A and B are shown apart, each in its own frame.
Chain A
Amino acid sequence: MKKLRLERKTSGSGFSVFLNSVLFTGVALVVCGFIIAAVGFNPIEVYAKMFRKAFLSARGIRKAIESGLPLMLCGLGVSIAFRMNLNNIGAEGQYAVGAIFGVAYVLYGPNLPGVPGILALACCCFLGGALWALLCAAPRAFWDVDESITTLMLNYVALILLSYLCLGPWKAKGQNMGQTEKIPDAFVIPEIPGLEVSMAFPAVIVIALLLFFFYRYTTSGFQINVIGKSPTAARYAGINIRRNILLVLGLSGGLAGLAGFVQYVAVTGRVQENMPNNAGYTGIVIAYLSRFNPIVVIIVSILFAGLQNSSATVQVMGVPAQIATMMQGAIMVIVIAGDFFQRYKFVAAGKGGKA
């Protein structure tokens, strides 16, 4: 048998990253299959049922797009921060605060009709998420306080606040569930005629494209990449790191806040006490799997939303809904492991390369 050894290689092309991710996602599905079998279900049956429901019908795809909207925005928000090596784990809380600001605007804000009203509401949600993120961005920028812990802790605070408002002062009358009144019709985003998909979807795509161009063609976008790759180089180049931390975390939180907006305005029509429902954390997995590329975030979000929706359909078989989170986690773990082959390759010992 020939001996193999590892050799470092230059980083692969976008296409090889893609192939690698798809391959190891497949491996992850096999691993999850074993776990599903261990709990006593037939994995092939479970997978077939999930796949058929989520992706093989027009209705399934429409639902995947719809419930993917908040995931997309969380994923976009998280990836902008991760690009600069800022661990914004707080998308969950920023989402919740965005939604809270949204309800506050609807309840107490000025009554603007039509499109300006919707835009004002969106700005309000964006502002909520951004402010919540800035609470962590400021200590990071001025005193170098690690943002992963502060953003995460604020998630719990935001969720407690949301459930307080939904069960207390803002609770809809005559409802048992903790949720607010239905949003007035004036704010509802219309569907694209004939497609039954909310207009919010193309709007999110536009945001993703804007981000794509922002990263590629603007000075700020370039600075973010430089700071992420090498903070020392960025400092020598005279890039204002403090300003960029505030800008990026604010933007990141704002996008997560917009997730609260789309969920409120385009999906549920109400704000519910458990609304972010892990979208913020799923956004992190999505951001990583898409390698922080905004266009890919959209696609991965739809796939993940489909996965989550389909977990509801296998619940009738007795499979717990957490199957979706478990599969997402497994995919992330195994794709990370697979990334090793982006950096190293096996070569037969004694041949090729320097010894």
Chain B
Amino acid sequence: MGLFISILSGAIVYAVSVMYAGIGETFSERAGIMNLGVEGIMLMGAVAGYITAVNTRDLALSFLVVLLTGAVFGLIFAFLTVTLQADQTVCGMAMLTFGTGLSGFLGKDVAGVAANLKFQAFSIPLLGDIPVIGPIFFRQNLLVYAMYVIVPLSLFYIYKTKYGLYLRALGENPAALDSAGMNVFGLRYAYVIFGCTMIAVSGACVTLANTNFWSPGMTAGKGWIAFALVAFSSWNPLKLTFGALLFGFISCLGSNLQIYLPSVPTEIYSAMPYIATIIAFILATGNFRKAHTAQPAALCKPYDRESR
């Protein structure tokens, strides 16, 4: 039982650290802008938060810096893809390289330095005492609790509000929105910046919650897993949650099995989440029978008023 609880609560921690990025990317792609640079921006968020934590010892301020870093990168990315209408794949790769390099460069003074400052797990009174469910769901850190609220909120926003309708239209048919008098460029800027901010929070989950150190490239593909989850979940935050939990479960299963089956090389366990992502991604997005896809029709297409 103890093992079961530890795997599941670990799965939630893992899932949340990719879900911030996944939900941010969902909003960005729903708005028609594909951001391939998730991993790089996540690293930037992770290192910016950690540097601030080491130097100021102020968790709230560190988190604010994380948000700001994400916003700045979002602004750059939006400028490239929305205003300059550059190729989104290439821009994403550029942000990835730049973010990876810059985070390693800026983080040189804090690599290996202990901050001893992170979002600590705490038990919610009453709820935390429920057997089984309590230790799994309600003895987590603040970022996890926030995610419990963000998922329903984002679902409500996308599917039930007028703004959500605009958002979906932005990715399907921006010209229609433009004709209706909405500012396509402004909205896309807003969603890309929001998306990048959320991606940066995922980085904060890594350095300021799940672990508490910094080393270059430490997100180890989490940004890409988040990116894969978005297409895997057909741009739906609820399905994204299930996908993230599945991957969280697989990777925690690996690290726990290691204790019980020491004869199997540990490399097999570390490769498991990636292989699972590939298989699940092929099964979920493969064009086996349905011709229809949930992918926003205007994804990756720059909006240009002159060629309407």
Contacts and interface: CB of A to CB of B under 8 A. Distances in A.
B93 A285 contact: yes
Contact of B100 (A8, A325, A340): A325
The listed residue with most B CB atoms (<10 A of its CB), out of A146, A152, A161, A318, is A152
Interface string A306-328: 00000000000010111111111
A163 B220 CA distance: 15
A139 B286 contact: yes
Contacts of B104: 320-322, 325-326
A50 interface: no
A164 B278 contact: no
Interface string A75-96: 0000000000001010000000
A252 B304 CA distance: 33
Interface size class on chain B is 35 or more
B281 interface: yes
B227 A143 contact: no
A145 B293 CA distance: 12
A150 B277 CA distance: 8
Interface in A234-254: none
Contacts of A89: 93
B99 A329 contact: yes
B263 interface: no
A148 to B, nearest CB: 7
Contacts of A208: none
A150 B278 contact: yes
A330 B84 CA distance: 17
Interface of A: 8, 35, 39, 87, 89, 139, 143-146, 148-150, 152-154, 156-157, 160-161, 163-164, 168, 281-282, 284-285, 288, 318, 320-330, 332-333, 336-337, 339-340, 343
A326 B36 contact: no
Interface in B261-306: 265, 267, 270-271, 274-275, 277-278, 281-282, 285-288, 306
A330 B91 contact: no
A215 B286 CA distance: 30
A154 B274 CA distance: 7
Given A150-B278, A325-B105, A339-B84, 8 more contacts: A143-B287, A149-B231, A153-B281, A325-B104, A327-B101, A329-B102, A336-B80, A339-B86
6 nearest A-B residue pairs (beta carbon): A329-B98, A325-B101, A322-B104, A326-B101, A143-B286, A329-B97
A336 B97 CA distance: 13
A154 B97 contact: no
Contact of B102 (A149, A288, A326): A326
A154 B228 CA distance: 13
B23 interface: no
Contacts of B306: 8
Interface in B222-251: 224-225, 227-228, 231
A333 B89 CA distance: 12
Nearest to A332: B94
A36 to B, nearest CB: 8
Contact of A337 (B80, B285, B286): B80
